[in-house]
Amino acid sequence: MNKLEKLSDYCETRKFMIEESIRLIDVDSQKHAGKVVGLWLMPLLIRGTGVVKDAYFFMRYIDDVLDGDLIIKENPLTSVENIRGDVLNENESEEYPVEKLAFRSLRILNQKRKENDDPKKEFLDGIDGMMRDYKRVEKKEVLTTNELRENYVKSFGPHHNISLMAIGSNLRSAGIESFSYCQGFSYGIQDLSTDWQRGLINIPRDVLTQSNLWVDSSVSEVKSSRIVKEWIGDESSKSRVDLNLFLKNISSLESEKSANLLFKMLSKRVEKILESNMQTKKIISVSGNN
């Protein structure tokens, strides 16, 4: 427990995270059980990752509210905008108990921050990434290959920065963009059916155009498209190579042993998704110049 934190607040945040862990496992044990167990065990293996756990459950709450996976009485966007405003103004509100996780993390990160670090900005940018996807759903917005890649990097980068600051690493998201993309792409492919049905389009415009598909196409049409399957296989194969190179490079950094262990843990699910979608035969490579 952080010395600046009241015992009652500490107990409340632990209770909240336990309840959220149970909820996530109940929703989809195959998808969430390993991650949830890993998050609870991580602080025993890597110093500083208690903050990673707290930040994850805060961000997970925001994401699930916006996705509709967690139903609340208030309008989802209004609720998240209010929470964002409280973080921005450093005004912890009793109306949203989940904020205790964010403010607890920020108190610790501000004690660890290095030159040019801005923990609060990372939290705000992380929320903004989820709000950006929420608005993409409303418009059923379709991105180009390059725009989709940039969106993944911008969305996952703040979460990685929070983790890196927490463990005292000198690395930051600008130096690990390949991993941010690999993680974003793999999760997008894993959740393709669910995301497509709710209007979050994570297949590039150029691929859809070549496939004669658009946002009103059924998910079965999308998943059965030869060109879509080839794109998924191609990107999975290329991302697996990039992931291998990233892990090799980070393992060679003597001063980044904690970061190396952290990303090895984060990579397990990514590797599994990529490998299940890789194609060994020669496949079409779609240009990203649109």
Q: Report how far Cα 43 is from the mean position of its chain's Cα atoms.
A: 19
Single pTM value for the model: 0.90
Range(s) of the domain holding residue 259:
143-290
CA distance 215 to 155: 22
CA distance 146 to 288: 6
Give the residue from 110, 139, 168 where a domain finishes.
Answer: 139
CA distance 250 to 237: 20
Whether residue 117 lies inside any domain: the answer is yes
- Residue length of the chain: 290
Whether residue 2 lies inside any domain: the answer is no
* Statement to judge: residues 116 and 150 lie in one domain: no
Number of domains in the chain: 2
Q: What is the pLDDT along the chain (290 residues), one digit of tens a residue?
A: 555 557 877 888 899 999 999 999 998 898 889 889 999 999 999 999 999 999 999 999 999 999 999 999 999 999 999 999 999 999 999 899 999 999 999 999 999 999 999 999 999 999 999 999 999 999 999 999 999 999 999 999 999 999 999 999 999 999 999 999 999 999 999 999 999 999 999 999 999 999 999 999 999 999 999 999 999 999 999 999 999 999 999 999 999 999 999 999 999 999 999 999 996 444 444 444 44
* Statement to judge: residues 82 and 39 lie in one domain: yes
CA distance 279 to 129: 30
Whether residue 3 lies inside any domain: the answer is no
* Statement to judge: residues 43 and 72 lie in one domain: yes
Q: What is the DSSP letter of 239?
A: H
* Statement to judge: residues 55 and 183 lie in one domain: no
* Statement to judge: residues 85 and 29 lie in one domain: yes
Alpha helices in the chain (DSSP H): 7-27, 29-45, 49-67, 76-88, 99-112, 119-139, 145-166, 177-190, 192-198, 205-210, 219-224, 226-251, 257-277
* Statement to judge: residues 267 and 203 lie in one domain: yes
* Statement to judge: residues 90 and 153 lie in one domain: no
Q: What are the Cα distances from residue 188, in Å, to 97, 183, 220? A: 29, 8, 16
Give the residue from 108, 139, 170 where a domain finishes.
Answer: 139
CB 79 within 8 A of CB 85: no
Q: Which helix (H) or strand (E) holds 153?
A: helix 145-166
* Statement to judge: residues 216 and 259 lie in one domain: yes
* Statement to judge: residues 124 and 149 lie in one domain: no
Give the residue from 104, 139, 174 where a domain finishes.
Answer: 139
